[in-house]
Amino acid sequence: MPITYFLILSALLFSIGVYGVLARQNAVLILLSIELMLNAVNINLVAFAAQLGDAGVGGQVFALFVIAVAAAEVGVGLAIVILIFRNRQTVDVDDMSLMKW
Amino acid sequence: MVSSFLLLAQHGGETVPPAVPQDGFFTQFMWLVPLLPALSFVIILFFGKRFRHGGAAFGIAALGAGLLLSLIAFVELAAGNAAVEKAWTWFDFAGGDSLLLEFGMHYDFLAGVMFVVVTTISLLVHIYSTGYMHDDERYTIFFAFLSLFTASMLFMVIANNLIQLFVGWELVGICSYFLIGHWWEEKENSSAAIKAVITNRVGDVAFLFGIFVLFFAGHTFNIEVLNHMAEEGEIAATTLTIAALLLFGGAVSKSAQFPLYVWLPDAMAGPTPVSALIHAATMVVAGIYMIARMFLLFENAGAALDVVAIIASITMLLAAILALVQDDIKRVLAYSTISQLAYMTAALGVGAYTAGVFHLFTHAFFKALLFLGAGSLIHAVHSNNMSDMGGLKDHMPHTFKTFIIGSLGLAGIFPLAGFFSKDEIIGGALRSASDLGQVSAWFVLIAATITAFLTALYMTRACVKTFWGSYRGHGDPHESPASMVNPLWVLAIGTVTVGFIGFPVIGPFADWITVPGHEHHGFEPLYNLVLPIGATIVALAAIALGIQLFYRERWRVDLLSGPFAWLYRFPANKYYLDDLYLKGIVRPIQYPIARATYWTNQKAIDGLVNGAGIATVALSKPTYDILDQQVIDFAVNGAAGLTGFTGGMLRYVQSGNVQRYAAVLFAAIAAFVALFALT
């Protein structure tokens, strides 16, 4: 299977993530969109690793790192969102303008 | 440049021991002696107040050491060591001999005698002043200037060249100014100080021109070389005469000769120790010393010596008469000093070199003694006037005894110091007049004899008025403290003894102080027996007359209104010489100068200052309006406004909207990717 398919899938997935990050008001959805972008990257890494065979094993290792980091990031991010929700009864990023000039 | 004038030192022929003279050990270090009081001046000036007694101890220590060194060095000279001449280049203008200024020393017997005199008198005056100036508010500065004065005098004495001598000459003059004006709160005293300086300036100009004339004639400032050149006839006779007369002009003012002696009596405004040190024993003999130092030049300068002799004859007579009519005891002594200085000058004028220097030496002792004694009297009765004294012999026994010794010394009674030196001078005058046919020497002879008579007379008058009769002053006079009495006794002992150094024929003084190339005279009955006896008779007659006149008060005439009133009034008004100077010279010069100065001040200087002020105001107005308000303020305000505007614009970028930041971020990345992908 040509690598092009994987790249197209990855690009689509990343674009959806970007759209989500830029357009969503809900902080949880923004975090979800970030996950999408990270996974698009992961698809890229694994696809190239598979194509390169033994030389591309670094890509698989890197994908595993990304998954671990993404889990940690989501953990911290959701914790922040939960705390904000407890304080302000909202997760809308437009309302989180406390530090705005 | 270590000079090669050993030859000159040997020039004395018979008088100098035939063995090749060696440099003495201490004689080479005589430059230290002026340095010591200079050091003490600096210490007293800057740190004097931190010590007890205002640091007077430094001056006393410096002069004690200086006196010791001077005595040792003199003994070395007397033992046959050579005169020392050393010099260090100070300025070398032309890179050769043509204009070379040196800092040098020339230490021979003449300088040696001066060193002993100056350090001795100065040391005693320092000690005396600790008592006399005890309660003075400027005690410290007084001692500083005493030290500076001594340093300057020694610096002048040791000079080997005329420029250095002139520097020392001026330095003692300026110290004299400070010390005369020590009590400047009274106008009279500061005026006296100014008078001293200005009168001296007249002579100094002549002196300076004399130096220039000699420099252009001989291309050197070195005194020994110039003397040598004069002796060898290497300088034209007319030039020598002019130079000698100009140099003598300096001596006329510094050594208070007619017609420039007027400053010295006024200089008595200074504290009495100063009068003793400066205006009797040391500074005023600077002129005599200078003539003695340049004697070979004067001797070969044609008529110059005759002028010296005649001026001195006039001075000694005029001053002695003035001393007779003074009431202020210090003024009596001041005129006496002028008269005695004229004696020394006259001695040099008739070629009696040894006698002149010897009189300088002895006079220093008894005149310092008399001045310090007068100071002691003034200290006791708080008045300078003899009309406030009288009958003090019982109140102040020590002052009385020493003052009488001093007076007898000055009058020239055997065996006191003045006897020997005065006879030497009269003898010298007679020798020049009869043996050498010098006409002016006859004047000196006559004047000196009359002056000897007058000297004894006025000293008798002063003693009678001061010590006998009844006390006419206020309060209860008391003897002065030991610090003042002891120096009196030391000087009294000096007055009694130093004369024997110059005992005719056998005294060593004539071996020490001789004009190079002159033989000194052996025993001659006329000069060594007849003259002294005659002079003593003259002095005794004067004393007898004085006792009749002033003690027994016989032949009392009303001096102020009788037929002889003019005889009294003429000297009492100082021959109107001061009035002549004031009305004839000072005022005609002073007023136009004052007017011109005032005009210059009002028109030129004030115009300049006001003009500058107006111009500044005129310039500052447009400067403020345009430069400051328009240009500078615009730049400053503009910079601030621009910054504010930029900040305000940039503020909108900082929206706080995270998603907008992210959008910009992605857009930027996409742009970069596109850029890299396309190129």
Write down the mean pLDDT value for chain B: 81
At B644-670, the pLDDT tens digits run: 999 988 887 777 777 888 888 889 999
**Mean pLDDT value of segment A77-85:** 92
**Mean pLDDT value of segment A50-63:** 88
| Phi-psi map region of A53: left, alpha, beta (phi>0 left; psi -120 to 50 alpha) | left
Confidence of residue B514 (pLDDT cuts 50, 70, 90): confident
The DSSP bridge partners found for residue B107 are B84
A-chain residues near B670 (CB < 8 A): none
Structural domain contains residue B629: yes
Nearest CA to CA, how far is A94 from chain B (Å)? Answer: 7
**Mean pLDDT value of segment B633-639:** 92
Query: What pLDDT, on the 0 to 100 scale, is given for residue B6?
Result: 39
A21: nearest CB among B655, B657, B662: B662
**C-alpha distances in Å from residue B110, one per residue of B118, B158, B566:** 12, 10, 44
Positive or negative, the CA dihedral B118, B123, B128, B133 is positive
Q: Between B581 and B343, name the one with better pLDDT.
A: B343
B-chain residues near A22 (CB < 8 A): 659, 662-663, 666
A22: nearest CB among B651, B654, B662: B662
At B284-322, the pLDDT tens digits run: 888 889 988 888 888 888 788 888 888 888 888 888 888
Range of A73-77, B386-390, B417-421 with top mean pLDDT: A73-77
Query: What pLDDT, on the 0 to 100 scale, is given for residue B44?
Result: 85
Query: What pLDDT, on the 0 to 100 scale, is given for residue B321?
Result: 84
For residues B483 and B60, the answer to whether their CB atoms sit within 8 Å is: no
The DSSP bridge partners found for residue B385 are B328
Distance CA B252, CA B206 (A): 10
Helix or strand holding residue A72 (H, E): helix A57-88
Confidence of residue B671 (pLDDT cuts 50, 70, 90): very high
- Tokens for B51, please give them: 């010590």
Query: What pLDDT, on the 0 to 100 scale, is given for residue B216?
Result: 84
For residues B259 and B545, the answer to whether their CB atoms sit within 8 Å is: no
The fraction of chain A above a pLDDT of 90, given in percent, is 62
For residues B36 and B66, the answer to whether their CB atoms sit within 8 Å is: yes
**Mean pLDDT value of segment A83-100:** 81
Query: What pLDDT, on the 0 to 100 scale, is given for residue B640?
Result: 94
Structural domain contains residue A101: no
For residues B338 and B390, the answer to whether their CB atoms sit within 8 Å is: no
Query: What pLDDT, on the 0 to 100 scale, is given for residue B522?
Result: 53
> What is the model's pTM?
0.70
| Phi-psi map region of B509: left, alpha, beta (phi>0 left; psi -120 to 50 alpha) | alpha
Distance CA B362, CA B358 (A): 6
CB contact under 8 Å between A100 and B651, yes or no, is no
Domain count, chain A: 1
Structural domain contains residue A71: yes
Residue B518 above 70 pLDDT? no
Structural domain contains residue A52: yes
Query: What pLDDT, on the 0 to 100 scale, is given for residue B626?
Result: 86
At B393-418, the pLDDT tens digits run: 788 888 888 888 888 888 888 778 88
Q: Between B548 and A84, name the one with better pLDDT.
A: A84
CB contact under 8 Å between B659 and A101, yes or no, is no
CA nearest to B83, candidates B37, B30, B33: B30
DSSP B432-489: IIIIS--HHHHHHHHHHHHHHHHHHHHHHHHHHHHHSS---SSS---PPPHHHHHHHH
**C-alpha distances in Å from residue B187, one per residue of B182, B328, B377:** 11, 18, 24
CB contact under 8 Å between B662 and A93, yes or no, is no
Structural domain contains residue B637: yes
Write down the mean pLDDT value for chain A: 89
The reply to whether B657 touches chain A by the CB within 8 Å rule is yes
At B154-209, the pLDDT tens digits run: 999 888 888 889 998 998 888 888 888 888 888 888 888 888 888 888 889 999 99
Nearest CA to CA, how far is A100 from chain B (Å)? Answer: 5
A-chain residues near B656 (CB < 8 A): 97, 99-101
Query: What pLDDT, on the 0 to 100 scale, is given for residue B61?
Result: 87
Structural domain contains residue A9: yes
Query: What pLDDT, on the 0 to 100 scale, is given for residue B224?
Result: 84
The reply to whether A55 touches chain B by the CB within 8 Å rule is no
Query: What pLDDT, on the 0 to 100 scale, is given for residue B13?
Result: 40
B658: nearest CB among A18, A93, A101: A93
* Cis check: omega of the bond before B415, within 30 degrees of 0: yes
Q: Helices in B268-303 by DSSP H: which ranges?
A: 272-276, 286-293, 295-299
At B603-619, the pLDDT tens digits run: 888 888 889 999 999 99
Q: Between A65 and B529, name the one with better pLDDT.
A: A65
Q: Which amino acid is at B591?
A: Y
Nearest-Cα residue of chain B relative to residue A26: B659
Q: Between B639 and B430, name the one with better pLDDT.
A: B639
**Mean pLDDT value of segment B438-453:** 85
Q: For A78, phi and psi rounded to 5 degrees? A: -65, -35
Query: CB under 8 Å to B152, separation ≥6 — which residues?
Result: B34, B168, B171, B172, B175
At B9-40, the pLDDT tens digits run: 444 444 444 455 667 777 778 888 888 888 88
DSSP B346-371: HHHHTT-HHHHHHHHHHHHHHHHHHH
Query: CB under 8 Å to B414, separation ≥6 — which residues?
Result: B532, B536
The reply to whether B661 touches chain A by the CB within 8 Å rule is no
Query: What pLDDT, on the 0 to 100 scale, is given for residue B573?
Result: 67
Confidence of residue A10 (pLDDT cuts 50, 70, 90): very high
Positive or negative, the CA dihedral A18, A20, A26, A29 is negative
3-state secondary structure of B113: helix
The DSSP bridge partners found for residue B191 are none
At B212-254, the pLDDT tens digits run: 888 888 888 888 888 888 888 888 888 888 888 898 988 888 8
> Crossing angle for the helix pair B658-678 and A3-23, nearest 10 degrees?
150
At B76-104, the pLDDT tens digits run: 888 877 778 888 877 777 655 567 788 88
CA nearest to B300, candidates B348, B213, B231, B216: B231
**Mean pLDDT value of segment A54-78:** 91
Query: What pLDDT, on the 0 to 100 scale, is given for residue B9?
Result: 42
Positive or negative, the CA dihedral B110, B115, B120, B125 is positive
Distance CA B27, CA B106 (A): 10
Domain count, chain B: 1
Confidence of residue B523 (pLDDT cuts 50, 70, 90): low
Give the range of the structural domain holding residue B627, as residue numbers without chain letter. Answer: 593-666
Q: Between A97 and B196, name the one with better pLDDT.
A: B196
| Phi-psi map region of A29: left, alpha, beta (phi>0 left; psi -120 to 50 alpha) | alpha
**Mean pLDDT value of segment B475-503:** 82
Nearest-Cα residue of chain B relative to residue A99: B656
Interface test with chain B among A14, A22, A99, by most B beta carbons within 10 Å = A22
Give the CATH number for residue A38.
Answer: 1.10.287.3510
Query: CB under 8 Å to B238, separation ≥6 — which residues?
Result: B302
At B546-560, the pLDDT tens digits run: 777 777 666 665 555
Q: For B107, phi and psi rounded to 5 degrees? A: -115, 110
The CA-based angle B419-B126-B455, given to 5 degrees, is: 25
For residues B475 and B126, the answer to whether their CB atoms sit within 8 Å is: no
* Cis check: omega of the bond before B516, within 30 degrees of 0: no
For residues A101 and B656, the answer to whether their CB atoms sit within 8 Å is: yes
Nearest-Cα residue of chain B relative to residue A20: B659
The reply to whether B652 touches chain A by the CB within 8 Å rule is no
Structural domain contains residue A43: yes
Query: CB under 8 Å to B361, separation ≥6 — which residues?
Result: B113, B117, B421, B498, B501, B502, B509
Give the range of the structural domain holding residue A76, as residue numbers without chain letter. Answer: 3-95
Structural domain contains residue B657: yes
Rg of chain B over CA atoms, in angstroms? Answer: 35
Structural domain contains residue A100: no
